[in-house]
């Protein structure tokens, strides 16, 4: 089986959340994926696997520059992960599930929610989201943008 190749940075969509054209970093050094949220609050509870877990309302910014551009997403927590941030500090993060579309990659992924306001990329795609689905070429970036432009030019 030949796997498609993506670059180390791409544009991705989270269509179930109404998020399109989000700049993401494909990070094979990270096990889990993470998305930046400006604010989160518990708005309810749901049952999953015998556990009573929260439902979160997430404020997901769509722009680093235009602070008023954001979406509100209600997402049930599917679990928790202990993750080391970029400073190697351990933190316990809620995990939610959503559909990710990044070029040929179209699948449901688990993603931790956290404040990534100091980071350039508002979302990291880790190994679990990528494994067995795509290869990452660390020397290329925005390959899906180039492929979309090529398809558009052929029309």
* Domain ranges, ordered by start, for the chain: 5-154
**5-154, which class in CATH?**
mainly beta
Q: What does the pLDDT read at residue 128? A: 94
**What is residue 149's predicted lDDT score, i.e. its pLDDT?**
52
Residue-wise pLDDT for 122-144, tens only, equals 999 999 999 999 999 999 999 98
Distance CA 32, CA 36 (A): 13
Half-sphere exposure of 93 (CA within 13 A, CB side): 23
Does the structure show a pLDDT above 50 at 151? no
Question: Which three-class secondary structure state does DSSP give residue 5?
Answer: strand
Task: Express each pLDDT in 44-69 by its tens digit.
Answer: 998 887 889 999 999 999 877 777 78
């Amino acid at each position: 089986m030949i796997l498609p190749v993506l670059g180390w940075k791409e544009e991705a969509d989270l269509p179930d959340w109404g998020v399109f054209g989000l700049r993401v970093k494909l990070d094979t050094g990270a096990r889990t994926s993470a998305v930046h949220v400006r604010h989160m609050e518990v708005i309810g509870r749901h049952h999953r696997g015998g556990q009573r877990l929260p439902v979160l309302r997430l404020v997901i910014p769509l722009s680093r520059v235009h602070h008023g551009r954001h979406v509100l997403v209600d997402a049930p927590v599917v679990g928790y992960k202990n993750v080391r941030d970029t400073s190697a500090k351990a933190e316990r993060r809620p995990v939610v599930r959503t559909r990710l579309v990044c070029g040929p990659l179209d699948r449901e992924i688990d993603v931790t929610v956290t404040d990534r306001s100091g980071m350039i990329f508002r979302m990291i795609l880790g190994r679990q989201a990528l494994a067995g689905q795509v290869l990452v070429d660390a020397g290329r970036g925005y390959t899906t943008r180039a492929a979309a432009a090529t398809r558009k030019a052929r029309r």
